[in-house]
Structure 1
Amino acid sequence: MQYRPLLSAVGLCALTVWSASAHAQFADKRNSPTLYLQAGIAERDARAVTIGSTIPMDWKTFWWGHPVTAHWDMSLSAWNSDRMEQEGSRTIAIVGLVPTMRFHSKSQYPWFVEAGLGGYVSSKLYETRDKRFSTAFNFGTHIGVGYFTGMRRESEWSVRLEHLSNASIKRPNPGENFVQLRYARHF
């Protein structure tokens, strides 16, 4: 069964969100666990679809009167890239774990900005027509901006810029940049 790993990951994300949902720190849902769906495109020749979950960390502070929170971002992605014309396209699975900090606008405004740095492991080496990764383990950094919707801010939409590379652990290290759109549902 080729879908068994995907179903297991979805089940694990759902169980994690359910077990952590009692730990929400805001009266609204801004710092509660989420399930999300994300889609993105790379500079050329590649597309990504991601499912994942965020779990709040027990950390909160204020910068210039704005709340700052942190969460773990766990993801399972499918990257599809066009390879040489005679080889067609290729899809690989990527699992990620990224600690992320989120700077919230003041409570009456539903905007946020976030940044994260974490690790990713791929099922096979990533390659496109123009580049080939040399490692299955890579680092990922992202910045994003988002907006909460809903009566209790239970939904969020965000746009993210993400860069993955192996930080020059091994050559070649071409890296890949994605622009991603994410929808997340807080529980």
Structure 2
Amino acid sequence: MKRMDKVMEAAKSMITCNETRVVQTHRILPPDLNDHQTLFGGKLMSYIDDTASISVSRFARTNDIVTASMDELHFIHPVKPGHSVCVETYVTGAGHTSVEVFAKVLGEELLTGERYIAATSFITFVIVGLSKDQTLPRIHSESNEEQMVCGEYQDRKERRLADRSANEKLVKAISILPPWISKGN
């Protein structure tokens, strides 16, 4: 392989966070609200999952993906009716078949222009059907925010693996009997 071909191949295997960035903005309307008259958390989770899935498809150039987990979802500031919510996502790391995406959710009071951080989250997706000889691109961070978030990817990945092991124990201990049937000891 010629030197330039190797350089081009290496460039294809490296993708910037910005190339995976997806931004979705929604106006908050009465049907989006919970009993506290703020954005329903499940609605926001749906927005995050949808937006993050597009980041993964841009990164891996496939639609054969599934959401594996939504970690560290922090609701920081309530979003009220008449505000907008802007969900921004980008890929922050990848393993052999897994891809981590960071979601930053910004709220905006549309009448004043005041912006605030409403929520943050990390979402892990799995690429389905990837063969052992196929590899995912590497992610390259550029901005200070991206460098900080991507720089902690390995620590988060290790915590998720430990959490998954603990969750497997929990799943084995959970009863699948209907709740109205006595479970005994």
| TM-score, structure 2 normalization | 0.27
Structure (1 or 2) with the larger CA radius of gyration: 2
Which one has a larger percent helix, Structure 1 or Structure 2? 2
